[in-house]
Amino acid sequence: MSDITSHKVNIRLPDSSIRTYDGPVTGHSIAADIGAGLARAALAAKVDGKIVDLQLPIEKDASVSIVTLKDPDVLELLRHDAAHALAEAAKELFPNIQVTIGPAIDDGFYYDFSREDPFTPDDLESMETRMREIVDRDEVISREVWEKDQAIQYFESVGEYYKAKIVADLPNNEPITIYRQGEFTDLCRGPHLPSTGRLGKAFKLLKVSGAYWRGDSRNEMLQRVYGTAWRDKKELDGYLHRIAEAERRDHRRLGREMGLFHQQEEAAGMVFWHPNGWQLYRTIEAFVRTRLEEGGYIEVKTPQLIDRSLWEASGHWDKFRENMYSMESEEKTFALKPMNCPGHVQVFRQELKSYRDLPLRMAEFGSCHRYEPSGALHGLMRVRNFNQDDAHIFCTEDQINVETEKFVRLLLRIYSDFGFDDVKAKFSDRPQVRAGTDEIWDRAEKALKGAIESIGLDCELNPGDGAFYGPKLDFVLTDAIGRQWQCGTLQVDFVLPERLNANYIGQDGDKHRPVMLHRTVLGSFERFIGILIEQYAGHFPLWLGPVQAVVATITKEGDQYAEIVADQLSNAGLRVRTDLRNEKIGYKVREHSLAKIPIILAIGKKEAENGTVSLRRLGYKEQESLVLADAVTRLRAEASIPV
C-alpha cells in the first residue's frame, strides 16, 4: 500500500482543486482530464511557475496551469518557436548555411546564421514564405536528451560546427536537450509548442544585421535575421504600425531635419548641439531649475576630473571601474566622473552641519562620462557623455518618508508638464555586487519600502537591480506609441556617507551619519530630449519649440512690416525668426514645416497695409487672419511655460 501511495502525484490547479494521478503525468494528460476544449487549446504547461513542454512528465507534486493563447507567457513561447521555424526554413532554402543561436527577445526573435553570401530582401521574403509552409505541415515537435559526445558527433557530421562548439562548451553534467521538427534538429533547452502548426502565421521577418559570434568583435561576423511574432494578426498589425510610427518619429532623423544636433565618429557617443538643439536643451534646463528652486534645492557645480583616491574611497573604483574613463598626469590617476554623488558629499563636508540644516537638497546639472561599447551607442538614447538633473538629499532616517513623498510629487508634476501622465514605479532591491553590510541593506530597504507604503505608491518589484550602494525606485514613462522609458530614480544610500565620512551634529550634540537620497527626474538630458523628440514627432508644445515662430514674407512689399511683426513677437518673449528670401511662400511653408516650426506668420502687401498677419499652425492647412496685437497676445499666452 505504501509503495503505491509513494508513486501518486498530486496536481494543484489554478482554482486550488487537487487532482491525483497514479504516477508521472504530462500537461497534455492533465488538460485532457479537465476537458476536451482545454486539451485542444493547450500549448504548454506551467509547473510551479516554470513553462514546460506539454509532453514532459511531471514526476512529483506540483502546482500546474495549462498555457493557452490567452496566457501572457505564451508570447515568449511563440517567438522561440518562430525562431526555430526560421532556422528550419533557412536550412531548407540554403543547405550550406550554419545555424548558431536563435532566442526570443522583446517583441520578437532572431537567429544568427553563418553564410558566405549576404541575405537580400528577396531571401527574407523566401524564408518567411517557407516558414508559413512549415506551419502548414504541422510538424510534430519532440524533445530528446542526448549524451554530450553524441551531440557533438552529430552536429559535426551534418556540418553544424557552431552547434558542436556550443555543446562542447557546456558543463559535462548538464543534460543536452535536442528538439526535432520534421527534418530539422536543433540544440535547445526548450520549451516548445506541440507542433509547428500551433505557431500560427502572425509573424514577419523584419531585417538583417551583422552580429559577432558570441558577441565578441574578435570572432567572425554572422548574419542576424530579426523577426516578430504575435498571437494573432491584429496584434501583429498593431506592432508593425508601432514600428512604422517609431521610424517616423526617429529622433536621429528628426534631429537632422530640425537642425538640433549631430554626432560623428571623432566623438563617438557624444553630442554636437546645434543652435536649435541647444536652445531646446537650455529651455528644459531652465524649466527644471525653476521647479527645483520651488522645491527648496540649492545648486552646486563639482569638478569633472577627480583623483582616483576619492573614487576608491567611495567604492566606485572597485564596483564601477569598467565604466569609467581615466588618465595619468604627474604620476597620478584621475577619472572623469561617471556620477556626481562623491563630489556632493565633499561639498556637504566642508562646513559642519547641524540637524537643523537637514534635509539639505543639493542639485547639479552635472556632466558625466561613462564608457559604453560602441555597438551599444544609439543616438541620444545611449551616449558616453551626458548631463543629469542630479540631486542628493542629505537627511535623517526619520525624514526619508517625507522627502520621498515630496520628490515623487515633484517628479510626477514635471512629467505631466512634459506631457507624460502614464508613469509606473519599480522597486529594486540589493544586487549581487554591492557595497555595505547586509544589516545596512536591511535598514535601507525597510526605509524605502516604508516610504513607498506611506505615500500609497503602486510599485512593481524588480529584484536584484538596486544600485551598488542602495535600493532604488525607478520611474518608467509610457510614450505616445506605447513604449516604456525608465527615466527618474530615487535611491536610498546608507553606504556612501559612511565611506566618505559625512556627519552632522544631532540634537544630542554627537556626530551622526546622514542618509543620502540620490535622485533624478529626467535622468540623462540627452536621452530625455531624444524621448521628447519621439514623443511629439518633433512637433513640440509651443513653450518647448526652439524656434516658436517664423515670419515669412509673401512679397517684397512685406519685408519692413515683417521686421515689425518679428520685433513685437520677440518683445513678447517668443523665439522668432524672419524669412525674407525671394522664394515662393509655398516653398517657405514646406521648408519650415519640415523643420517642425510650430507657427508660420505669412506677411504680404495686404497684411502690411491692414496691420494683420496670416497665421498657419504646423500640421494644419488652414490659416487664420489676425490683427497683429491679437496674434501677439494669443501666442504669448500659448508659449508661456507651465505653472
Q: What is the pLDDT of residues 496-530, one digit of tens each?
A: 999 999 999 999 999 999 999 999 999 999 999 99
Q: Where are the beta strands (DSSP E) in 547-608?
A: 549-553, 576-579, 599-603
Is the pLDDT at 547 greater than 50? The verdict is yes
Q: Is the pLDDT of residue 335 over 70?
A: yes
pLDDT tens for each residue of 227-258: 999 999 999 999 999 999 999 999 999 999 99
Q: Is 341 considered catalytic here?
A: yes
Q: Is the dihedral of CA 30, 33, 38, 39 positive or negative?
A: positive
Reading the block at residue 517, the C-alpha cell is: 537620497
pLDDT bracket for residue 4 (50, 70, 90)? very low
Which residue in 188, 341, 395, 487 is the catalytic one?
Answer: 341
Reply yes or no on whether 192 is catalytic.
no
Kindly name the residue from 53, 112, 389, 390 that is annotated as catalytic. Answer: 390
CA 436 centroid distance within chain: 29
Grid coordinates belonging to 417: 508638464
Mean pLDDT value across residues 387-407: 93
**Active-site entry in 369, 472, 499, 519:** 472
Strand partners, 455: none
Tell me if 422 sits within 8 A of 402, measured CB to CB. Answer: no
Determine which one of 46, 192, 249, 370 is catalytic: 370
What is the average per-residue pLDDT within 452-461?
Answer: 84
Its pTM surpasses 0.75: yes
Q: Which three cell numbers stand for residue 591?
A: 521648408
Is 511 one of the catalytic residues?
no
Cα separation, 236 vs 175, whole angstroms: 36
Give DSSP secondary structure letters for 220-262: -EEEEEEEEE-SSHHHHHHHHHHHHHHHHT-HHHHHHHTT-EE
Interval 430-449 mean pLDDT: 84
Counts for the chain of helices (H) and strands (E), in that order: 21, 36
Instruction: Find cell 529622433 and name the residue.
Output: 251
Q: What are phi and psi of 597, to 5 degrees?
A: -75, 125
Q: Which pLDDT does position 256 carry in this prediction?
A: 95
> Considering 204, 316, 392, 596, which one is annotated as catalytic?
392
Predicted pLDDT of residue 585: 94
Q: Which of 337, 353, 518, 519 is catalytic?
A: 518
Q: What is the per-residue pLDDT across 92-148, written as a single tens digit (0 to 9) for each?
A: 999 999 999 999 998 999 999 999 999 999 999 999 999 999 999 999 999 999 999
Task: Calculate the average pLDDT of the chain.
Answer: 93
Q: Choose the catalytic residue: 279, 388, 399, 535.
A: 388
User: Is there a catalytic annotation at residue 518?
Assistant: yes
Mind listing the pLDDT tens digit for each residue in 319-332?
A: 889 999 999 999 99
Q: Are 280 and 529 in contact (CB under 8 A)?
A: yes
Q: Which of 139, 143, 145 is nearest to 182 (CA)?
A: 139
Confidence check: pLDDT of 2 > 70: no
The 3-state secondary structure of 609-621 reads HHCEEEEEECCCC
Give the span between the Cα atoms of 629 and 154, in whole angstroms. 83
Helix (H, G, I), strand (E, B) or coil at 141: strand
Question: Is residue 298 helix, strand or coil?
Answer: strand
Alpha carbons 594 and 135: distance in angstroms, whole number: 45
Q: Let me know: does 308 contact 333? Beta carbons within 8 Å.
A: yes
pLDDT at 131: 98
pLDDT at 33 over 60: yes
Contacts with 10 (C-beta within 8 Å, 6 or more apart), sequence order = 18, 19, 20, 61
| 81 a catalytic residue | no
Which residues are CB-neighbours of 386 under 8 A, at least 6 positions away? 367, 368, 370, 524, 525, 526, 527
Q: What is the pLDDT of residues 582-606, one digit of tens each?
A: 999 999 999 999 999 999 999 999 9
pLDDT on residue 277: 97
CB–CB of 446/427 below 8 Å? no
pLDDT band at 6 (very low <50, low <70, confident <90, very high): low
Tell whether the model's pLDDT for residue 357 goes beyond 80. yes
pLDDT of res. 3: 45
Q: Which residues of 238-256 are buried (b: 16+ CB within 10 A; e: fewer)?
A: ebeeeeebeeebbbbebbe
pLDDT attached to residue 434: 83
The pLDDT of residue 187 is above 70: yes
At 92 the pLDDT is: 97
How many residues does this entry show for the chain?
643
Beta-carbon contacts of 108 under 8 Å, excluding residues fewer than 6 positions away, are: 79, 206, 226, 227, 228, 229
Annotated catalytic residue 392: yes
What are the C-alpha distances in Å from 18 to residues 25, 33, 49, 63, 139? 14, 12, 17, 9, 33
Q: Band of the pLDDT at 291, cuts 50, 70, 90?
A: very high
Q: Nearest to residue 229, comparing CAs of 67, 120, 343, 109?
A: 109
Q: What is the spatial distance between Cα 403 and Cα 135, in angstroms, rounded to a whole number?
A: 57
Contacts of 459 (CB under 8 A, 6+ apart): 425, 426, 427, 452, 473
Rounded Cα gap, residues 416 and 287, in angstroms: 13
> Is 251 among the catalytic positions?
no
